[in-house]
Amino acid sequence: SQQGEEDPQALSIQEGENATMNCSYKTSINNLQWYRQNSGRGLVHLILIRSNEREKHSGRLRVTLDTSKKSSSLLITASRAADTASYFCATDAGYGKLTFGQGTILTVHP
d(CA 1, CA 52): 25
d(CA 97, CA 53): 20
Q: Is residue 24 near another protein by the rule CB under 8 A?
A: no
Residues from 79 through 98 that contact another protein (CB under 8 A): 88, 90, 92, 94-98
Binding string, residues 33-62; x marks residues near another protein by CB under 8 A = x-x-----xxxxx--x--------------
Q: Is residue 2 near another protein by the rule CB under 8 A?
A: yes
Q: Is residue 31 near another protein by the rule CB under 8 A?
A: yes
Q: What is the CA radius of gyration of the chain?
A: 13
d(CA 62, CA 28): 22
Q: Is residue 100 near another protein by the rule CB under 8 A?
A: yes
End-to-end CA distance of the chain: 36
Residues that bind another protein (CB under 8 A): 1-2, 4, 30-31, 33, 35, 41-45, 48, 88, 90, 92, 94-103
